Structure 1
Amino acid sequence: MSNINYDYIEEYIRSVIPRKTDNLFKLRNFAIEHNVPIVEEETEEFIKFLISIKKPEKMLELGTAIGYSAISFTKSSDSIKNFTTIEIKNEMVEIARKNIEEEQLNSIIKVIEGDAAEVINELEDSFDIIFIDAAKGQYEKYFNLVLKNLNEDGIIICDNVLYKGMIANEELVNKRKKTIVKRLRNFLNKISKNKEYQSSIVPIGDGVLLVRRSN
């Protein structure tokens, strides 16, 4: 249970998601078997829906893992011509590149190895959608860094912002996670009160934050 929604709600939502018959099914199972955190199924479908509306040409992702979300999002829309994803762990980078090559998406998806904060400083491209799914305690830092790379009408999507319910319920907070929870709460509070942005927290998966510049 995610502590965001009741188990039966999650189970129902997942039951109506079309079953994957391609390599994504194998990749999700690999992630589960090897305890690699990837985007929740319902969150994946929600973001793919946003992509179908936004029709982005260029996307940026912080936190590649095995390349699952990069592959899934790219395959979901012909509009995506450039997908840049950043991963700090060499082992994950190698797995992701292998998976992307097997999907023949090398010409679209570019995996950059390194610390996201350092890599972003060197990025000059602008993006229509930026997906933040890296170290949760660094979300505010990442958000501020990627703003220079966000197109005027672009969207920033942050995953896991309700963090297993700990953000909303103090009783759920693990002692080892107190700093992360505090930082996430501060980040969410600042975004919600900042009139420069329109934002919404969607209680799906582990919580998704959507942000765009105010008109």
Structure 2
Amino acid sequence: MIEAIAHLIHRDYGAIVKDFVKLGFISDGVNLEPILPVLAKVFDQALEGGGAKNLNFQELASDLAQITFDYPFKIPPYFALIIRAIGVLEGIALVGNPDFAIVDEAYPYLTDESPRLRNALRYTIYGKSGVFDAERFIDVMQAFESFITAAKSGGGESMNGDMAELGMLQSQTGYIFPGFLSSASQQTQPIQTRAALAFLLSEKGNFFREFLLGY
């Protein structure tokens, strides 16, 4: 599912169709060519206006359910329950935060060390063209920061690894990067962005630095 979200971010609909086969939405052996343009239309509509950040999971699920009547596209019973649960939780989150984006909640799981998720992280940041996307990279770090902060404030278990230190940077509003002078433009830059970059340059940012250097 996380791999599908990574493909959705870059509108790689050909890869998403294959992801749906893996997830059981489309049976093995089905001709994917007639389904691809239909799914592309549904996803383009879901991403319209703000890209992946604008995605409403519940509305997308409803649109996907409509095409099951005309195409060999199905929703597995186990996934129907997942869709309902995510839809409800997304609705609650949007009440508390109108800017809530379901995509941001998937980003922290990309830091898992499994080969498949490491490849999904690489694809998320570099895309099909293999060009580094700095804004996407910062989005991933900010999402992980928010995840860590929420886990700590909720009294959950402490996070493993050096990346847990990222949650401590949220309060460092006056951070200045080594070798750079503070400027008006830097001071107006979003605090979360500065904190994410500060983490990347800190001793604790090993995971992301190794990821960049190892690509």
Q: Give the helix-richer structure, 1 or 2.
A: 2
TM-score by length of 2: 0.30
Greater RCO (Cα-Cα under 8 Å, separation 6 or more):
1
TM-score by length of 1: 0.30
Q: Give the strand-richer structure, 1 or 2.
A: 1
Bigger Rg, which one: 2
